[in-house]
C-alpha cells in the first residue's frame, strides 16, 4: 500500500504545488487564461487558497516522509477532498460545467486519504 500512497500523494502534491504556487504569486490577469473563476473571487481569497494548497501539498508528503505526526497526511488528503467539493460547487455556480479535473482530483484525494489511513 505504501507504493500506492506515494504514487497518488506524489502526483497530488506536484499538482497542488504548481497550482497553489500560481495562485500565490500570479496576478489576476495572468491567472485568468488558466482559471476563469478568479474574476468572481477576491484576490486575497485566491492568494489564501494558493497558500492552503501549498501547505496541503507539504502535508501530504512531509509527515509520512519524516515519520512525525503521520496522521496529518490523512488530514491533508481529506482537506483536499473538501477543497474539491467546494471547487466543483464554485464552477457549477459560475456556469462552468468543465469539472472533470476537479472530480479526478477529488477521487485522488479520497484515495490518498484511504491509503494513508490503512498503511
Count of beta carbons in the 10 Å neighbourhood of residue 60: 31
Give the tens place of pLDDT for each residue, 13-34.
999 999 999 999 999 999 999 9
Question: What per-residue confidence (pLDDT) applies to 1?
Answer: 67
pTM for the complete prediction? Answer: 0.93
- Of 57-66, 91-100, 104-113, the poorest mean pLDDT is in 91-100
The H-or-E segment that residue 51 falls in is helix 43-66
Interacting residues of 54 by C-beta distance below 8 A, sequence separation 6+: 16, 17, 20, 21, 24
Amino acid at each position: 500500500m505504501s507504493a500506492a500512497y506515494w504514487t497518488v500523494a506524489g502526483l497530488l502534491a506536484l499538482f497542488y504545488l504548481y497550482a497553489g504556487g500560481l495562485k500565490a504569486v500570479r496576478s489576476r490577469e495572468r491567472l485568468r487564461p488558466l482559471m476563469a473563476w478568479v474574476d468572481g473571487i477576491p484576490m486575497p481569497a485566491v492568494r489564501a487558497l494558493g497558500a492552503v494548497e501549498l501547505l496541503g501539498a507539504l502535508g501530504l508528503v512531509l509527515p509520512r516522509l519524516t515519520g512525525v505526526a503521520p496522521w496529518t497526511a490523512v488530514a491533508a488528503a481529506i482537506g483536499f477532498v473538501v477543497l474539491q467539493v467546494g471547487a466543483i460547487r464554485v464552477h457549477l455556480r459560475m456556469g462552468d460545467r468543465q469539472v472533470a479535473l476537479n472530480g479526478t482530483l477529488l477521487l485522488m484525494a479520497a484515495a490518498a486519504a484511504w491509503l494513508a489511513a490503512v498503511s
